[in-house]
A and B are shown apart, each in its own frame.
Chain A
Amino acid sequence: MSFCELKNIRKSFGSGENRVEVLKGIDLNIEKGEICVLLGPSGSGKSTLLNIIGGIETADEGAVSVNGERTADMSEKALTEYRRHHLGYVFQAYNLIPNLTVRENIEVGAYLSKNPLGIDELMETLGITDQKNKLPNQLSGGQQQRTSIGRAIVKNPDILLCDEPTGALDYNTSKEILKLIEDVNQKYGNTVIMVTHNDAIKNMADRVFKLRDGVIRKSYFNEVKISASDLDW
């Protein structure tokens, strides 16, 4: 049994004539410690799928199980607990808390964990030690996203969910962030599920799922993956 299993996930939005089926029966398996990329163009359903895995969206049909636990069977409270202990989120928009410093934003994540990672070490890993006392509005986009990753990773989640983490960043910064995610994965062994529309990023993944119109068009395991720092697009 895989660490993360999705079976026949279906999801629609709207009703009647306006009903749009976003996910049309997704089946996928992700193993623990893998970097998994959900790749697809806008509207392919990849973010919806990520949100369903993250328990902030529910599927109309199908089941998600993480480490043997089915999210569909969880109450709202249990889902919160599930997110609290197993998931870390990174968004394209960072969503940092503006009146908390870099370190404090990371502490927000650490607070949720019984065994958080060392914040200073993490900041060192993330390369934001020098910015630790700055507020988000004093940071560049890359620094904000590093902080955001720090906040997500500090509680040492089983799964790090990244929704277009480089969508708002320039090429170099994007690569730095991807490298960081890769480093974190390697260092802490978290499973990383990353949504992106950037085709190049698939090369750093262990496992790739290509989505289009709510269907997995192609999935494969990267026998030879490229380091994030070597990616090019």
Chain B
Amino acid sequence: MKNPLNKRFARELKSDAGKYIAVFLFLVLFIGVISGFLVADNSVSAAYREGFDKYNIEDGHITFKTEPPAEILSQIEKAGELEFYNLFYKNEALVGFDADTVKTVRVYSLRDTVNTVCLMEGKMPGRADEIAIDRLFAETNKVNIGDTLRFSECEYKVSGYVALPDYSCLYENNSDMMFSAVNFCVAIVTPEGFDNLGDSHLFFNYAWKYLKPYADETEQNDRSEALIKSLENIIKKYDEKLIQAQVDKVWSDAVSLSEELENKFREAADEIENKVKKAGEDAVKDALATFSQDEISEMLLKESDMTEEQVYSAMMEKANLTSAQKMKLAADSRTLSEDELLEEAMEMTGLTQDDIAAMLLEITGITEERAGEILLGEYCEKNNTTARALVAAKLGTTEKAIKDMQTAFEDAENLTGDLDINSKEAPKIDFDKLEKDSDIESGLDFSFDDIYSIIGKVDATGIYDTAEIRKTLGRLEKLMDIHPDDSDLIEIKDYIPRYQNMAIMFTGNDMNSDHATVVLMLYIMLVILAFVFAVTISNTISKEAGSIGTLRASGYSGGELIRHYLVLPVTVTALGAVAGNILGYTVFESLFVKIYYTSYSLVTYKTLMNGEAFLLTTVSSVALMLIVNIFVLARKMKVRPLDFLRGEVSSRKRKKAVKISPKLPFLQRFGLRIFFQNAGSYAVLFFGILFGGILAVFGMLFGPMFEEYSVLARETMFCDYQYIVKKDSVETDNAQAEKFCMTALDSDVKGYVKDSVSIYGIADNSSYIKADIPAGEVLVSEGIMKKFRFEPGDKLTLKEPYSTKTYSFTIAGDYPYLASLAVFMPRDDYLEMFDKSGDYFTGYFSNSELTDIDEDDIYTTIRLQDATKIVDQLSSLIGFMDIFMYFGVVIFLLLMFLLTKQIIEKNSRSIAMTKILGFKNGEIAKLYLLATSAAVVISLLLSVPVIHLLLQWAFRYYLYVKMSGYIPYIVSNTCYIKLFVMGIASYAVVAALMLLKIRKVPMGEALKNQNM
């Protein structure tokens, strides 16, 4: 025999149709949405995952500034045990598309090995003037197949829509806070079409695939780290070699020039020496002319050790006289002095004064030069002057100039060894110090200043024209003062292993986190629903206590009754879940697929049957409903049959009535009694409102948050323009301009995705960064402080991009700047930390446009409006968030309806009694809805701070960890006001329904025996 109690089910369903229909519809909708999402997520996710193999997605890529030689690529391939694939691209701006924003298209040539293309619609480009563009960009920007896209150099006709598996998420740069299908697109053209674009925006990008697949993420990470190190070494060696070749070439030129210079120096030195010598001789001649022969002889004799007689004898002997001449002189010796006799002898032999002088020098052994000096000395003494003054006078210059020149020449003697470049080797270049020591001159042992000093002293004498020397020296100096040509250096513009590539990985990560969030939502909602059922079942048990007691007394077991009371909620749940699943597969799946496809550039997918979705939505739902209800019912059924018969259905010991002050007005006391009677229901109501509220606020908060952020980001921009210049020789006359230094490092905080952080070196007493930054410490932007949860005194470690080098900063505090993640440090500290010379700078802060700087010298300009660019991108992604808000409202309505209804039903006898006593319907509604109204208002008010804290927690520990960049957690008060209004409006609808229900309670209810 079938259990006759089963016959109740249909009638129970009919009599409580409102409750069951509401729950059923909600379950169908809720599970439909969840199931639809899970099926969509699973199908799309499977297509995404399979795409890694199907489209042979890269293991990473490197983008170089210039095309590296083949040998370098092969060295890297060998070191990293990988193979490179050429995936060059060109970043081109669309022309004539949208005047307000720049839309960048990253154009690739057709690919057939890695990151192969998924054609979504139309056809692949077959001609040079055809282009296949990303489907999502096309849909977002309403570009149709057949439309023409124009770039500055050429135009293409759109042949089809594609999805590139390495751009499932359209991140233009990996460090971008958010991807954007509004302003960024990827596209494919034919090789000829690629060449037609010109090379001005060409990037030398190489995707790599490891030769041996990695086992897990740890190995992937280790391999990437090892690859970075190898890259650093290989490229450093290559670049150093390149620079060294430049230096060697310069050195060789310098050697030739230095030889030329040496000759010029030699010529100059000879000429100057001759001039000085000649002037000295002339001075001596002048001196000689002022002395008599006797005076000269006397001076020479004085210098020699010989007596006058000895000199006379020697002279006579030297005169080589004949016998007759000797006889004549002997005869005259009686009348003439020795000098007169010598003079006579000279006449006899025909000797001149010069001959006599030479003879005298010969006899005394005094050199002609010494004699000149003696004579000049005597002359100078006599005339109170100096030999140098006489020479200077002869040369037409000053004595000091000559003296200085002579000193300089003496110094130059010491320099000659250093100046001999030929004997030296070219300086060896240390690549790491190249930027600082860009001038080879400093590697030499002399300075050009020393040489210029000597030349200057020669110039001061006026005796030699140094113009030629100066000219040659200038050439040498210019040659030596080289700035290495770095245009051919290999420089990495981008290095991203696959696991760090947001464009590839974000979609999958997002789908995983969406999946987890949705499953969590499902469970929370089911638990709340299970408790709603538990509350209503408790209520039913209370109502039917007498019958249950009789049945128990008649021999029905607790288990039989538990099973009986489980049937309806579990059946409704199961039916709702099955219907929901059907709806999920048929309606919502395509809706969620659409949402995914409007966010991501996904490849094609196939709808897959999802066992997990069925398990989670149907099996789990029923199981959860069973567990919670069995738990509640089992507790209830512990009550003894007799207690059921007495209507004492609480398994807990009977509590005394809560004391309520009789001074309170009757209505309030009554309300409080209802409140205490239904405390359990109100607890469930609170959690339902909280959950619905979280969904509703989550659905509403982003719009106002982005607006607020936009305002704050603009307000905290410390200047209207930030110019990053290409070299530190770019100057401006604008008085507002203030130089600053800047570089970008990567964050390296464990557990967080990588962020790009701008490091600013700020001038003392900056007009723009008005903060006292302690030496040796830094101020960080609010984003760094809040996102990474730093405190003053903490250490911030940042990493050089594409390198293993790290930098550590001590945080002194935060600086109110919201446009990006930034570190502010004193300029001197910056120069020291990044090993820069004293006059180095990166750009200018200014509040007015710098019009005197050549556009070509500006690397980039950050304007005030750029601070909020990200907001525009983010705002385009939040369209579907409203769905959360609507869901929140549905939850409000459902829970308020079910719980208020059961409160009214529980008290239907009392309501009937109050009617008999003469209460009007409105008064009764006040009595029974007052407590519920208060509970709704209190729940809404209490849920606001709880929602605020929960969402803040979610931002801090989830969103900030998963996404790069920073947006402050700002929930506009309007969100909470809207939440409150939605809650009250939902309750107003429910209260109106309950009013009708109260009206329908017949007075006869009070007269009935209290049966089931």
Binding site for B on A (CB under 8 A): 51, 54, 56-57, 77, 80-85, 87-89, 91, 93-100, 104-105, 107-112, 116, 136-137, 141, 144, 151-152, 155, 168
B696 to chain A, nearest CB (A): 38
Binding site for A on B (CB under 8 A): 1-5, 7-8, 11-12, 15, 544, 546-547, 549-558, 640-642, 645, 1008-1012
Contact with B553, one of A54, A77, A155 (Cβ below 8 angstroms): A54
Residue of B nearest to A107 (CB): B4
Once the chains bind, are A94 and B1011 in contact (CB under 8 Å)?
A: yes
A193 to chain B, nearest CB (A): 13
A214 to chain B, nearest CB (A): 17
Contact with B550, one of A51, A85, A95, A116 (Cβ below 8 angstroms): A95
Residues of B within 8 A of A77 (CB): 557
Contact with B641, one of A56, A99, A151 (Cβ below 8 angstroms): A56
Residues of B within 8 A of A89 (CB): 550, 553-554
Residues of B within 8 A of A111 (CB): 1-5
Please report the C-alpha to C-alpha distance between residue A38 and residue B371 in the assembled complex, in whole angstroms.
171
Please report the C-alpha to C-alpha distance between residue A2 and residue B555 in the assembled complex, in whole angstroms.
23
Once the chains bind, are A87 and B555 in contact (CB under 8 Å)?
A: yes
Once the chains bind, are A95 and B642 in contact (CB under 8 Å)?
A: no
Residue of A nearest to B556 (CB): A112
Residues of B within 8 A of A82 (CB): 555
Residues of B within 8 A of A100 (CB): 4-5, 7-8, 11
Residues of B within 8 A of A105 (CB): 4
Residues of B within 8 A of A137 (CB): 1008
* Cβ-Cβ contact count across A and B, 8 Å cutoff: 105
Contact with B5, one of A85, A94, A108 (Cβ below 8 angstroms): A108
Once the chains bind, are A88 and B554 in contact (CB under 8 Å)?
A: yes
Once the chains bind, are B1012 and A98 in contact (CB under 8 Å)?
A: yes
Residue of A nearest to B551 (CB): A108
Residues of A within 8 A of B557 (CB): 77, 80, 84
> Which of B544, B557, B1008 is packed against the most chain A CB atoms within 10 Å?
B557
Once the chains bind, are A112 and B8 in contact (CB under 8 Å)?
A: no
Closest 5 CB pairs of A and B: A84-B555, A107-B4, A83-B555, A95-B550, A95-B546
Residues of A within 8 A of B555 (CB): 80-85, 87, 112, 155
Once the chains bind, are A98 and B553 in contact (CB under 8 Å)?
A: no
A137 to chain B, nearest CB (A): 6
Please report the C-alpha to C-alpha distance between residue A85 and residue B557 in the assembled complex, in whole angstroms.
12
Please name 8 further chain A to chain B contacts, defined as beta carbons within 8 Å, in addition to the given A96-B1011, A110-B4, sorted by A numbering.
A56-B642, A81-B555, A93-B1011, A97-B5, A98-B547, A99-B8, A108-B554, A151-B550
Once the chains bind, are A84 and B645 in contact (CB under 8 Å)?
A: no
A101 to chain B, nearest CB (A): 8
Residues of A within 8 A of B1 (CB): 107, 110-111, 116
Residue of B nearest to A103 (CB): B4
Please report the C-alpha to C-alpha distance between residue A87 and residue B641 in the assembled complex, in whole angstroms.
14
Contact with B549, one of A95, A107, A108 (Cβ below 8 angstroms): A95
Once the chains bind, are B546 and A93 in contact (CB under 8 Å)?
A: yes
Residue of A nearest to B549 (CB): A95
Residue of B nearest to A116 (CB): B1
Residue of A nearest to B550 (CB): A95
B548 to chain A, nearest CB (A): 9
Residues of A within 8 A of B1010 (CB): 93
> Which of B8, B554, B558, B1009 is packed against the most chain A CB atoms within 10 Å?
B554
Residues of B within 8 A of A57 (CB): 640, 642
Residue of A nearest to B1 (CB): A111
Please report the C-alpha to C-alpha distance between residue A109 and residue B556 in the assembled complex, in whole angstroms.
9
Please report the C-alpha to C-alpha distance between residue A20 and residue B800 in the assembled complex, in whole angstroms.
86
Once the chains bind, are B553 and A83 in contact (CB under 8 Å)?
A: yes
Given A56-B553, A89-B550, A89-B553, A98–B4 Cβ distance below 8 Å?
no
A131 to chain B, nearest CB (A): 16
> Which of A56, A94, A104 is packed against the most chain B CB atoms within 10 Å?
A56
- Can you identify 18 A-B contacts, CB atoms within 8 angstroms? A56-B553, A80-B558, A82-B555, A83-B552, A83-B554, A84-B557, A93-B546, A93-B1010, A97-B5, A97-B547, A98-B547, A98-B1012, A100-B4, A100-B5, A100-B8, A104-B7, A108-B554, A137-B1008
Residues of B within 8 A of A95 (CB): 546-547, 549-550, 645, 1011-1012
Residues of A within 8 A of B546 (CB): 91, 93, 95
Residues of A within 8 A of B1009 (CB): 93-94, 141, 144, 168
Contact with A84, one of B7, B12, B549, B554 (Cβ below 8 angstroms): B554
Residue of A nearest to B14 (CB): A99
Residues of A within 8 A of B551 (CB): 108
A163 to chain B, nearest CB (A): 9
Once the chains bind, are A97 and B8 in contact (CB under 8 Å)?
A: yes
Residue of B nearest to A92 (CB): B1009
Given A51-B642, A56-B641, A94-B1011, A99–B15 Cβ distance below 8 Å?
yes
Once the chains bind, are A56 and B1012 in contact (CB under 8 Å)?
A: no
Please report the C-alpha to C-alpha distance between residue A54 and residue B1008 in the assembled complex, in whole angstroms.
27
Residue of A nearest to B546 (CB): A95
B555 to chain A, nearest CB (A): 3
Please report the C-alpha to C-alpha distance between residue A96 and residue B8 in the assembled complex, in whole angstroms.
12
A190 to chain B, nearest CB (A): 14
A91 to chain B, nearest CB (A): 6
Residue of B nearest to A85 (CB): B555
A33 to chain B, nearest CB (A): 21
Please report the C-alpha to C-alpha distance between residue A142 and residue B408 in the assembled complex, in whole angstroms.
142
> Which of A89, A137, A151, A168 is packed against the most chain B CB atoms within 10 Å?
A89
B908 to chain A, nearest CB (A): 12
Given A93-B1010, A99-B8, A109–B547 Cβ distance below 8 Å?
no
Please report the C-alpha to C-alpha distance between residue A98 and residue B641 in the assembled complex, in whole angstroms.
19
Please report the C-alpha to C-alpha distance between residue A137 and residue B5 in the assembled complex, in whole angstroms.
17
Please report the C-alpha to C-alpha distance between residue A164 and residue B641 in the assembled complex, in whole angstroms.
18
B909 to chain A, nearest CB (A): 13
Once the chains bind, are B553 and A87 in contact (CB under 8 Å)?
A: yes
A74 to chain B, nearest CB (A): 13
Residue of B nearest to A105 (CB): B4
Please report the C-alpha to C-alpha distance between residue A96 and residue B645 in the assembled complex, in whole angstroms.
12
Residues of B within 8 A of A91 (CB): 546, 550, 645
Please report the C-alpha to C-alpha distance between residue A168 and residue B554 in the assembled complex, in whole angstroms.
21
Residues of A within 8 A of B642 (CB): 51, 56-57
Please report the C-alpha to C-alpha distance between residue A141 and residue B1008 in the assembled complex, in whole angstroms.
10
B706 to chain A, nearest CB (A): 55
B559 to chain A, nearest CB (A): 9
> Which of B546, B552, B555, B1009 is packed against the most chain A CB atoms within 10 Å?
B555
Once the chains bind, are A98 and B1011 in contact (CB under 8 Å)?
A: yes
A67 to chain B, nearest CB (A): 15
Please report the C-alpha to C-alpha distance between residue A77 and residue B1010 in the assembled complex, in whole angstroms.
28
Residue of B nearest to A145 (CB): B1009
B640 to chain A, nearest CB (A): 7
Given A56-B640, A91-B645, A108-B5, A96–B547 Cβ distance below 8 Å?
yes
Please report the C-alpha to C-alpha distance between residue A144 and residue B1010 in the assembled complex, in whole angstroms.
12
